[in-house]
């Protein structure tokens, strides 16, 4: 009689080890793939953020630059035999990790430009009567003969005026202007629409008095004043943490304070468009100008290039040199192990008062 063997047949130890090894290899491969995908995702997300920051930074600077030239103040001038930056100032390629600004030295990325812009107003200049100019003060009236002549009084923060510049304008066709500094005693009185703003400008500092033409002082102003404006002064630079900073003149220690504009910014490059023959066309782009090179010409444009970088280096990556094909940029000063994005914009420096 024939019998059947119903004993179960299991896996041997060797078979089990082979299966475990195969599963381990598959899991390691999947984990490596997941890790690579995760790292790529992180880099691409960082790069997308950098692209947005670069775009924002470029148009932020351009918006400010377009306001320059809103007064008769020249970009640079010869004052008492000395060539000085006036409405603007460009320091090309900071060295030694520091940059000199009108408000002192700041820590800056090596090889990045520093751009200072003045000669513009965030509050439209006020119309005033030439008889309202006193010794160290000027009175600005909201209304005259029952008509509102200055509609911008609601934009005035009297407490925030201290330390900022004040620009007095006379006959613009004769280039009459003078610059002073606003004191803490400025006040606003009355009720709308008959308010009165009294600007006290007895305070003073080199950053403002140096902007005056030769022989011009604000005590007293040597011409009839018809308009007066609160003068802004901004300095843009890239700090060692790769943050684009904007330094604004005010009453803080040192005469200015910095505020961040955009992160992951690795470099800033600016060139000035100069008209040398008064045909309102750019005859020369100056990437590293001196004040003396600008005197006698008219700066009518600025070419602004912002270079952003990922916050971290990328493994096995070297950014192509073509990314840094910007005039006057020293490629040896940049960290090419990060991924970079670049955007360039051009701003026309207009004169809104004419």
How far is it, in rounded angstroms, from Cα 168 to Cα 227? 6
Phi, psi of 88, rounded to the nearest 5 degrees: -145, 165
Domain boundaries, position 204: 49-348
Residue 302 sits at the vertex; the CA angle it makes with 243 and 325, to the nearest 5 degrees, is 65
Per-residue pLDDT of the chain (354 residues; tens, 9 = 90+): 555 555 556 667 777 777 777 877 887 777 676 666 556 666 678 888 999 999 999 999 999 888 876 678 889 999 989 999 999 999 999 998 899 888 889 999 999 999 999 888 889 999 999 888 888 899 999 999 899 999 999 999 999 999 999 999 999 888 899 999 999 899 999 999 999 999 999 877 777 888 888 888 888 888 999 999 999 999 999 999 999 999 999 888 888 999 999 999 999 999 999 998 888 889 999 999 999 999 988 898 999 999 999 988 888 899 999 999 998 899 999 999 999 999 999 988 865 443
In a domain, 309, yes or no: yes
In a domain, 9, yes or no: no
pLDDT (0 to 100) of residue 230: 94
pLDDT (0 to 100) of residue 278: 84
> Following DSSP, what letter does each residue of 233-300 receive, concatenated?
EEEEEE-TTSEEEEEEESSSGGGEEEEEEEESEEEEEEEEEEESSSSSS--EEESS--HHHHTTSEEE
How far is it, in rounded angstroms, from Cα 289 to Cα 270? 10
pLDDT (0 to 100) of residue 253: 81
pTM of the model: 0.85
Buried b (16+ CB within 10 A) or exposed e, 198-237: bbbbebeeebbbebbbeebebeebebebbbbbbbbbbbbb
Buried b (16+ CB within 10 A) or exposed e, 266-280: bbbbbbbbbbeeeee
Phi, psi of 64, rounded to the nearest 5 degrees: -70, -45
How far is it, in rounded angstroms, from Cα 148 to Cα 142? 6
Residue 36 sits at the vertex; the CA angle it makes with 33 and 41, to the nearest 5 degrees, is 125
In a domain, 273, yes or no: yes
Q: Do 107 and 243 form a contact (C-beta atoms < 8 A)? A: no
Cα of 264 vs its chain's centroid, Å = 14
Please count the helices (runs of H) and the strands (runs of E) in the chain.
3, 21
Give the list of residues 6+ apart from residue 292 with CB closer than 8 angstroms, or none.
Answer: 76, 83
311 backbone φψ class: left, alpha, beta (φ>0; ψ -120 to 50): alpha
In a domain, 111, yes or no: yes
How far is it, in rounded angstroms, from Cα 120 to Cα 272? 17
In a domain, 13, yes or no: no
pLDDT (0 to 100) of residue 40: 60
In a domain, 104, yes or no: yes
Domain count, the chain: 1
In a domain, 88, yes or no: yes
Q: Do 142 and 196 form a contact (C-beta atoms < 8 A)? A: yes
In a domain, 354, yes or no: no
């Amino acid at each position: 009689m024939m019998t059947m063997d119903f004993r179960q047949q299991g896996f041997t130890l060797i078979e089990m080890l082979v299966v475990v090894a195969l599963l381990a290899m598959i899991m390691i491969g999947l984990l490596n793939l997941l890790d690579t995908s995760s790292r790529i995702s992180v880099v691409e997300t960082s790069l997308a953020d950098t692209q947005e920051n670069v775009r924002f930074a470029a148009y932020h600077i351009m918006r400010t630059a377009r306001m320059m030239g809103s007064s008769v103040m020249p970009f640079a001038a010869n004052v008492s035999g000395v060539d000085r930056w006036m409405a603007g100032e460009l320091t090309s390629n900071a060295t030694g990790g520091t940059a000199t600004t009108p408000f002192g030295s700041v820590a800056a990325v090596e090889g990045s430009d520093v751009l200072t812009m003045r000669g513009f107003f965030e509050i439209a200049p006020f119309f005033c009567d030439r008889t309202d100019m006193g010794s160290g003060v000027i009175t600005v009236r909201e209304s005259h003969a029952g008509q509102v002549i200055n509609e911008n009084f609601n934009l005035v923060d009297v407490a925030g005026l201290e330390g900022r510049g004040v620009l007095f304008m006379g006959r613009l066709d004769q280039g009459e202007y003078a610059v002073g500094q606003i004191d803490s005693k400025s006040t606003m009185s009355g009720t709308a629409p008959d308010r009165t703003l009294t600007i006290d400008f007895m305070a003073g500092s080199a950053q403002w008095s140096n902007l005056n033409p030769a022989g011009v002082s604000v005590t007293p102003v040597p011409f009839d004043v018809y308009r007066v404006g609160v003068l802004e002064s901004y300095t843009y630079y890239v700090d060692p943490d790769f943050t684009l900073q904007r330094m604004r003149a005010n009453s803080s220690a040192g005469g200015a304070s910095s505020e961040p504009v955009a992160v992951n910014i690795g470099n800033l490059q600016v060139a000035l468009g100069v008209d040398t023959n008064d045909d309102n066309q750019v005859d020369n782009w100056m990437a590293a100008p001196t004040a003396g090179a600008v005197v006698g010409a008219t700066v009518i444009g600025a070419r602004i290039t912002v270079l952003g970088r990922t916050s971290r280096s990328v493994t096995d990556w070297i950014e192509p040199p073509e990314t840094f094909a910007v005039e006057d940029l020293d490629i040896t000063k940049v960290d090419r192990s990060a991924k970079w994005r670049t955007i360039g914009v051009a701003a026309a420096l207009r004169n809104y008062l004419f």
